[in-house]
């Protein structure tokens, strides 16, 4: 049985399937006859402001339409509650009789929930807290993967499959910058774009390895010498041997969020820095760079079916766990077959404020590619993609010998 009224909020960056989790939790809570099902607008900031909506007043049909719409329908926040913030939250939760709180988010959001649940214990407020995972970064501990990642990976793979063809038609160097601060999973997903042996991305730069500009331009030159072209996938989080992000090396004033993180997205500066370095240090003429930006997490119409289904299920399971287990926790996705998963309730501290990065076994010895193990890992998550085919027509003998 669900304790008190149920409250649901969404935190951190949106994903293509975060509303599947919302709707999965809402429908399950309603089915269980919850005393009330409330939604907090704009994440925890909406709790502080008592900005609640009555999710019992939504039709099933309309909830399904919302579930299929990308990006947090309740709105989100980057706020990171401290003690004072949490005390304000309690006042509001108590006033509204809320006894069960589901927060859909990444490692920052799960840490918010950990602080909140610890504060609840201190002040002896009966609150059941269950974290529902989501993040395109795929960087939550314990989890095999996280909802939102497979759809973003499909977008990134579809992007690189396209620009590889574009680069083959008009040869040169192409740099594509992908989201991911500390974990390179999403950048690595670019490797799923390859169909033929000489397809790009030919080089993949991950935040799990140190980035050196000289090595980079040498790598690019070597690939260009071999294929007459070069497609490169770069994580926005690449950093030097000291851990300093490459992006901050050129930015005079760097924007930071409430969590102290340097703002990496929303600017094309890193791609421009890298393309300029190639132009200056090689004699390659056509060098282009794109930053895939917010499209990676929000593009309308690029969703992995596995992702859609699992995002719905973690919402369902969170409510089932809250009703049947007498403890707080985070729902985790665990791979138990090829391909099959099961969902478990782990401790919040297992994932809160921690970051999973790519295992060495997933990164090639060169440091600029993934291993077949990564492809085996990622393919069932992304699912089938359109295929890119080439002409096979044989050459016609030259008459003029040109």
Q: Which is nearer to a second copy, 88 or 118 (CB)?
A: 88
Sheet containing 173-178, strands listed edge to edge, beginning at the edge strand earlier in sequence: 203-205, 230-235, 173-178, 287-291
Binder to a second copy among 143, 158, 187, 235 (CB under 8 A)? 158
Sign of the alpha-carbon dihedral angle for 68, 69, 74, 79: positive
* By the rule CB under 8 A, 228 interacts with a second copy: no
Nearest Cα to Cα of residue 163 among 207, 187, 199: 199
Binder to a second copy among 248, 293, 371, 383 (CB under 8 A)? 293
Asked about 137 being catalytic, the answer comes back as: yes
Residue 245 has phi, psi (to 5 degrees) of -55, 135
* By the rule CB under 8 A, 266 interacts with a second copy: yes
Binder to a second copy among 21, 72, 109, 217 (CB under 8 A)? 72
Site residues for a second copy, window 166-185 (CB under 8 A)?
166, 168-171, 174
* 360 vs 209: CA distance, rounded Å: 10
Q: Which is nearer to a second copy, 293 or 367 (CB)?
A: 293
Alpha-carbon distance values, 97 to 37, 57, 117, 271 (Å): 11, 18, 16, 50
Question: Facing residues of 48 across strands?
Answer: none
Q: Which is nearer to a second copy, 156 or 363 (CB)?
A: 156
Site residues for a second copy, window 304-323 (CB under 8 A)?
none
* By the rule CB under 8 A, 125 interacts with a second copy: no
What's the token pair of residue 311?
């995002």
* Shortest distance (Å) from residue 104 CB to a second copy: 12
Binder to a second copy among 159, 187, 328, 332 (CB under 8 A)? 159
* 7 vs 93: CA distance, rounded Å: 9
Q: Where are the alpha helices (DSSP H) in 248-304?
A: 269-281, 295-298
Which region, left, alpha or beta, applies to residue 211 given φ > 0 means left and ψ of -120 to 50 means alpha? beta
Site residues for a second copy, window 44-63 (CB under 8 A)?
48-55, 57-58, 62
* Shortest distance (Å) from residue 90 CB to a second copy: 12
* Shortest distance (Å) from residue 261 CB to a second copy: 14
* By the rule CB under 8 A, 283 interacts with a second copy: no
* Shortest distance (Å) from residue 20 CB to a second copy: 13
* Shortest distance (Å) from residue 272 CB to a second copy: 6
Which residues does 203 contact at the CB level (< 8 Å), separation at least 6?
219, 220, 223, 230, 231, 232, 233, 368, 369
Catalytic residue (choose from 137, 139, 199, 369): 137
* Shortest distance (Å) from residue 166 CB to a second copy: 4
Site residues for a second copy, window 319-348 (CB under 8 A)?
none
Count of residues of this chain found to bind a second copy when the rule CB under 8 A is applied? 86
Binder to a second copy among 17, 29, 44, 74 (CB under 8 A)? 74
Q: How far apart are the first and last CA of the chain?
A: 81
Q: How many CB atoms lie within 10 A of CB 393?
A: 6
Q: Which is nearer to a second copy, 70 or 329 (CB)?
A: 70
DSSP 253: S
* By the rule CB under 8 A, 301 interacts with a second copy: yes
Binder to a second copy among 183, 233, 264, 287 (CB under 8 A)? 287
Tell me the catalytic residues.
137
């Amino acid at each position: 049985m669900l304790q008190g009224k149920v409250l649901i909020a969404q935190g951190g960056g949106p994903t293509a399937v975060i509303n599947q989790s919302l709707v999965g939790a809402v429908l399950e809570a309603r089915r269980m006859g919850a005393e009330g099902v409330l939604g907090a607008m704009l994440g925890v900031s909406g709790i502080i402001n008592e900005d609640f909506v009555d999710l019992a007043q939504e039709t099933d049909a309309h909830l399904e339409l919302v579930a299929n719409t990308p990006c947090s329908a309740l709105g989100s926040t980057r706020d990171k509650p401290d003690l004072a913030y949490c005390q304000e939250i309690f006042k509001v939760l108590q006033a509204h009789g809320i006894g069960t709180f589901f927060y859909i988010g990444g490692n920052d959001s799960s840490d918010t929930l950990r602080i909140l649940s610890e504060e609840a214990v201190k002040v002896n407020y009966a609150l059941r807290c269950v974290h529902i995972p989501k993040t395109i970064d795929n960087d939550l501990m314990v989890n095999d993967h996280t909802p939102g990642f497979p759809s973003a990976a499909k977008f990134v793979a579809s992007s690189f499959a396209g620009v590889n063809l574009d680069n083959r038609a008009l040869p040169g160097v192409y740099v594509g910058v992908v989201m991911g601060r500390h974990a390179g999973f999403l950048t690595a997903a670019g490797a799923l774009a390859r169909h033929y042996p000489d397809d790009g991305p030919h080089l993949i730069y991950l935040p799990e390895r140190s980035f050196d500009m000289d090595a980079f331009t040498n790598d690019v030159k070597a690939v260009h010498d071999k294929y007459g072209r070069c497609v490169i996938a770069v994580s926005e989080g690449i950093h030097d041997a000291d851990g300093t992000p490459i992006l901050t090396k050129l930015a005079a004033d760097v924007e930071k969020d409430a969590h102290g993180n340097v703002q990496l997205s929303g600017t094309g500066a890193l791609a421009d820095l890298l393309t300029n370095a190639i132009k200056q240090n090689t004699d390659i003429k056509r060098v282009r760079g794109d930053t895939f930006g917010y499209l990676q997490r929000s593009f309308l119409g690029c969703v992995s079916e596995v992702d859609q289904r699992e995002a719905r299920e973690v919402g369902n399971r969170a409510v089932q766990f809250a009703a049947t287990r007498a403890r707080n926790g985070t729902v985790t996705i665990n791979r138990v077959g090829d391909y099959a998963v099961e969902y478990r309730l782990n401790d919040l501290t297992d994932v809160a404020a921690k970051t999973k990065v790519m295992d060495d076994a997933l990164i090639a010895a060169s440091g600029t590619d993934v291993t077949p193990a990564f492809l085996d890992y990622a393919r069932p998550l992304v699912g089938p993609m359109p295929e890119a085919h080439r002409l096979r027509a044989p050459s016609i003998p030259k008459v003029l010998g040109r």
